[in-house]
Amino acid sequence: MSVRNFEANGSNALHRAPKTVAALREAALIFLDSLNSNQRSRAVFPFGSGERFVWHYTPVERQGLPLLDMNEDQRRKAIDIMMVGLSPKGFQQAQAIIQHELILKDIEQTAGTLRWDRNPGLYFFSLFGSPSPDEPWSFRIEGHHLSLHFFATDNERFAATPSFFGANPARVPSGPHEGMRIHPIIEDLARELMESLDSSQHSEALVQADAPGDILTVNSKYASIDQVEGIPGAALSADQRELLVRLLEEYIGRKTAEVASRDLHKILNVHGLDNLHFAWAGSLISGQPHYYRIHGPTLLIEYDNVQNDANHIHSVWRDPANDFGLDLLRSHHQQQHIA
């Protein structure tokens, strides 16, 4: 199903994803049933735990149950949660990020710079609450350069942010995987859009000459950037707007078809492309440090490629109002209070 083919059925449709919620709940319950008591104590947290808002995309100590401490059957069931929470393309990218640790390990060992355990087993699975149709619950899947958050309040309402995908190296420089790029399109399309701008548009889109060292919101609980900068969708030509939509689709296309269609409809038809701003910082030359973001009423995309001689990508999709399902949770509590 194309992510552009979505028909809203009232405002509630902007949060609905019943097929995704059902599939995630089933996969989570199957995974939980496979765990022993010790594993379950590591994987399951109270829904109200502050740990739900702790997330990292760097190699740090994490809470949860890692793939490393599961048997083969449990690992398969854990990966099934990721598979049903993402589109086939998103799942393929997530799997590639996990396996990329082995490529990075070889590179760093050869260079004598290995400081961290680059291990595909160090991806952690955490459940907050109980996968119930009556109470809020969420699931986190996280490790180096990957952080996925799935939240549901009932049988339908669902959020999937923050959603972080990265890669180091962005382009494998040598060896059996030379030239491999996990995220080529989100870099190439953004550069193509920037290069299509005339001088006036370029001046509006370029917010600073040097790219920041990382995404600006890093791993904060709240996605907040003080001001909206860059060129608005209203100032783009038809061809440039199409490039912007294609770029959005690359990010949204990581989500299930149901969620992708819903979110793109919200962006394009409810809030409007005119209200999105595209901002660029740094060089337009491939291989040089660069950064961009797409900022709108219900989304903030940040992309940065600066570290390791501009061969190290960080990219994130956030919803400033509904990261971790906070807006849906407020609505859930208000309805309970009224009832």
Closest listed residue to residue 207, CA positions, set 218, 194, 220: 194
Work out the burial of residue 125: count CB atoms within 10 Å of its CB; fewer than 13 is exposed, 13-18 middle, 19 or more buried.
Answer: buried
User: What is the band of 12 on the pLDDT scale with cuts at 50, 70, 90?
Assistant: low
Reported as a pLDDT band with limits 50, 70 and 90, residue 336 is: low
> Please, what's the b/e burial string for 198-224 (b: 16 or more CB within 10 A of its CB; e: otherwise)?
eeebeebbbbeeebeebbbbebeeebe
Q: What is the pLDDT of residues 56-65, one digit of tens each?
A: 999 999 999 9
Q: Given a cut of 50, is residue 9 above it in pLDDT?
A: no
What's the pLDDT score for residue 331?
79
pLDDT value at residue 338: 47
pLDDT tens figures, 286-317:
999 999 999 998 899 999 999 999 999 999 99
Q: Hey, where are the domains in the chain?
A: 11-338
Residue 3, pLDDT > 80, answer no
155-166 pLDDT, tens per residue?
A: 999 999 999 999
Is the distance from CB of 298 to CB of 262 less than 8 angstroms?
Answer: no
Q: 134 in helix, strand or coil?
A: coil
The rounded distance, in Å, linking the Cα atoms of 82 and 95 is 9
How far are the Cα atoms of 106, 178, 190 from residue 175, in angstroms, in the given order? 9, 5, 28
Between CA 185 and CA 32 the distance in angstroms is: 36
- For the segment 245-258, the average pLDDT, to the nearest whole number, is 97
Instruction: Give dist(CA 68, CA 142) in Å, integer.
Output: 13
For the residues of 291-308, what is the DSSP string, one character each? EEEEEETTEEEEEEE-HH
Measured in residues, the chain has a length of: 339
Please state, rounded to an integer, the average pLDDT across all residues of the chain.
Answer: 94
* Cβ-contact 17, 256 below 8 angstroms: yes
Residue type, 31: F
pLDDT at 337 over 50: no
Count Cα neighbours of 6 within 13 Å in the Cβ-side half-sphere.
25
Helix (H, G, I), strand (E, B) or coil at 244: helix
